[in-house]
Structure 1
């Protein structure tokens, strides 16, 4: 029996993963995003269509960990300096968007349906939130995440993600379920929440950070994965044990590590688990959709999606104008955030469990969110000509607008420190990563922010902001940069200029840099400087010195070109200037 159940689980997992692959790739190709692909895959393999997978409710409970992981990563983004810099956008524009959109949507539902006011609140409040999982990839692929427009969109999404916690509290307070009403009183719940948050902060400062530093010193990279999962699952488990929001626990865990030098390493290690669990969450949502209820009221679903998109676009457009955005940018922001989001599914499930709404209503409004999400790529595409900036108008940034926006420096040893300080003197925004914990600690003593991580890992480069960086500078020593890594960097980050520190000529031949890459041999310029000073000290004229150095550089470049073409260090040796005691 056990073997049969195990085989059934494997077959079901194979079916779910196969369906996810097919539909996510298809929807990505159509420009509709992965989220809708997962939802449709769940519908197709679910009990109401092909019936190839079941137990959707159990899967949904487990997959809600994906939402927990998402909030952990959101917390990691909230380094204190970034939170302070974006405070007006987050707590001004973000707060106004959630409140005003919620008021407008609640009013629409109240006027057009016969639901009770508690049900209207449980349905309307979640619809004020947009889809972080859909919007952020759209901004990244368009290269606009680090522009003022992208910053505003991110700030609104960030406040929406934070809003899930009070919205869950509101739904719980409205609950008609006797099991929920038997819980502790509100004041006691508030005190427990504060105590839990303080406890998590202390654990992070006095247990988790020293543990991460120990792991970094030992060089056990896979243990960062364990530590990241421990932080997320542990904080969520503590909150669940206290009867509080698991999402709040994970968010606090992320915030307490946001200013840690291990932030990018943790984010890169946790991201695959978030992606898989969030994908499973959307699969499960698709499986539990009541297709019959939707088929019986298609006009309600379509009209509801149109009203949702129209209301949110209008409110956000007006808020954008109040925030002194150009009207084209304000319209673009409204359309980009006009859809419902993944947190709506979580809140609808909580409202259904609290006996505030029926399963049929939950399915209908889940379908409204799904259709609104499907419409976003089309709305952005069809309105592109209207939203195109007029001559002289631009949303592109004039300079760095957040950490990691302009340049990414990999390695903070003696070479990387000089490069980073020179770039900082030029007022270039930098993100610096290094894998030496002691070096990071020393850098912090001098006020420098350096993050822990292996800069030859593509996933960590992405988390450190390489997709938006204008330049990537590899300042690490040895022969760690090879042709395979450079090809991956060029394919993944085609817009970034690449600068590489090389040990010697052999290193350059090994890495085979691209035509636009800039390679600097670590002792080349300093050796030329010494030679120039020696020639000057020996009484050589400045004109003769300049000619000699220019001749050497020209011959050296020709030799290096011949060596790269032949793949042989001996190529072009007849062109060398060799020591001759007769001179």
Structure 2
């Protein structure tokens, strides 16, 4: 039977993936951002390139879910207390920057022949910086959590929230009668508030119990489905309320930021976020109307230059007025001197409301797309000549603050005891465990434990392993410990690795695997126990302590011999046996030897 021909949809999917796979590595190799690679790939396969796609808007609507997922992940990092600590930056710095930039860009619009509301709408749309582009660039540089990165994130958050009142203002300014959507419908306002209230209520009282139930099922795919359901469900709820989908995803992320499942959810969402965000940038590249640009190339080029320079100058001056260094101010100005994805929504709404005509909408859309495409190119230059940004005291302090972190994997009895020493010295620790009952019971005793599977590399990344100074593997299964140690040694070479071993054979395996420190879980407690037994038998306390130290030293010598020989039997002569001279010892007898090599045996004399 002959094979069926591939469907048109499958061909399109293959082309999209191929564009990303080819373009992004090429641009990264050339030293540019992956964003520029996606934009170039989209332009190449779009209606103004090879014409493999003729309706980029259809792809853009689906790809907007990438922005939604991205803001959800950002929300997971923004705990309510952290957001509250950023209130001055969000509502102070953000409001000042948005106001000054809007006024200046409105003047630019009027200088280019736009009048009244049209100039304001063109300016307001360009003020809304591309969150996806900037956050992607900050993420690639590792600057999101640093102080100057947090200032940029604060402004971006306010700009994203600004789309809601801007859409309301478009409706109020519309010259069309109410039947055509010109005046604001108070019922729509009520619906939006109700949807937002429902989202907050669900986040506070429903989501955590839901994930607890799913975690007990121990089905990874169900947890992933639930995470996607939360993101897409909140986006749909906001859309029904007339609010931006991304706003709902961000709020849901913030509500889950204090959840014990935060790291697991982030790890589950991350692959989908990356793929859909790449698709979004591909669609933006496709949407660049080269015909419109060619027809009005002089106007479009002049607008792009004027808008970007004006916005960058305003941002730089505001940053300097708020006591940012020259390097930091210049970096922020270059990163944010662009329009963003929400401008498309604003221009479309303004066109439907009769505030701007189709020609102005197409021109401004082209200006925004070109500014987004130029930003990754423009960023490259200043970053190479701004050592002040990389070496600022804020950044040094942030790295110093983060350097003391320890990631503890597994919070059974062993992990609980060892954590006490770190916590007693106020060392910041992140603790993950994949036992939901353990997570819940630990909370009752005042511990902050996150639900997460330490054998997954994405979970380790989400838990901060890439910035941890030490990673303590305290899990209670030999195979799990070995998998985690292998992952950590390979992916996080900056961290010291400490591991709990289960017996002598396992300790040898861990040392060969490259751990910096290992300890057999019963060794030290058994030594202390034996020392106490000597005292109870009338041996002097000092003599008992010296005996314990001798046994500890002999054990170390025995371990070194076994490690060098690669044979667990090599250290047998150093064991202190209780058989008569000339009689085979328990450890050299065949039956006992098999017990030594079989960790599951009820007697395991090789692990004192």
1:76–1:567 distance in 2 versus 1, CA, 3 Å: same
Partner of 2:374: 371
Partner of 1:90: 90
Query: After the TM superposition, which residues 55-66 of structure 1 pair with which residues of structure 2 at under 5 Å, given as runs?
Result: 55-66=55-66
1:144–1:274 distance in 2 versus 1, CA, 3 Å: closer
Aligned to 1:498, the other structure's residue is in SS state strand
Q: Which runs of 5+ in 2 are unaligned?
A: 582-608
> What is the distance in 2 between the residues matched to 1:181 and 1:571?
89
Query: After the TM superposition, which residues 163-562 of structure 1 pair with which residues of structure 2 at under 5 Å, given as runs?
Result: 163-171=162-170, 173-174=172-173, 181-182=180-181, 185-298=184-297, 300-301=299-300, 303-351=302-350, 356=356, 357-381=360-384, 383-385=385-387, 387=389, 389=391, 393=393, 395-397=395-397, 406-481=405-480, 485-511=484-510, 515=514, 517-534=516-533, 538-540=538-540, 542=542, 545-546=545-546, 551-562=550-561
> What is the distance in 2 between the residues matched to 1:288 and 1:449?
46
> What is the distance in 2 between the residues matched to 1:394 and 1:343?
31
Query: After the TM superposition, which residues 92-171 of structure 1 pair with which residues of structure 2 at under 5 Å, given as runs?
Result: 92-111=92-111, 113-171=112-170
Q: Per-residue CA shift, 1:199-243, capped at 9, x if unaligned?
A: 122333444332211111121221111112222222222333343
> What is the distance in 2 between the residues matched to 1:309 and 1:492?
39
Partner of 2:12: 12
> What is the distance in 2 between the residues matched to 1:408 and 1:237?
36
User: Does the 8 Å contact 2:147/2:398 carry over to 1?
Assistant: no
Q: Which runs of 5+ in 1 are unaligned?
A: none
What TM-score does the superposition give when structure 1 sets the normalisation length?
0.86
> What is the distance in 1 between the residues matched to 2:490 and 2:342?
33
- The number of aligned residues is 574
1:116–1:564 distance in 2 versus 1, CA, 3 Å: farther
Q: Per-residue CA shift, 1:145-172, capped at 9, x if unaligned?
A: 4443343343334434444444444455
Q: Per-residue CA shift, 1:19-41, capped at 9, x if unaligned?
A: 11111122223332222211111
User: Does the 8 Å contact 2:125/2:343 carry over to 1?
Assistant: yes
1:452–1:484 distance in 2 versus 1, CA, 3 Å: closer
CA shift for structure 1 position 176? 6.8
CA shift for structure 1 position 541? 6.8
Partner of 1:41: 41
CA shift for structure 1 position 511? 4.5
User: Does the 8 Å contact 1:225/1:269 carry over to 2?
Assistant: yes
User: Does the 8 Å contact 1:304/1:368 carry over to 2?
Assistant: no
**Structure whose CA Rg is larger:** 2
Aligned to 1:272, the other structure's residue is in SS state helix
Q: Per-residue CA shift, 1:5-63, capped at 9, x if unaligned?
A: 97111011111100111111222233322222111111001121111233212111222
Partner of 2:53: 53
CA shift for structure 1 position 182? 2.6
What TM-score does the superposition give when structure 2 sets the normalisation length?
0.83
Aligned to 1:32, the other structure's residue is in SS state coil
User: Does the 8 Å contact 1:313/1:337 carry over to 2?
Assistant: yes
User: Does the 8 Å contact 1:72/1:254 carry over to 2?
Assistant: yes
> What is the distance in 2 between the residues matched to 1:63 and 1:478?
42
- Coordinate RMSD, CA, aligned: 3.4
> What is the distance in 1 between the residues matched to 2:64 and 2:370?
19
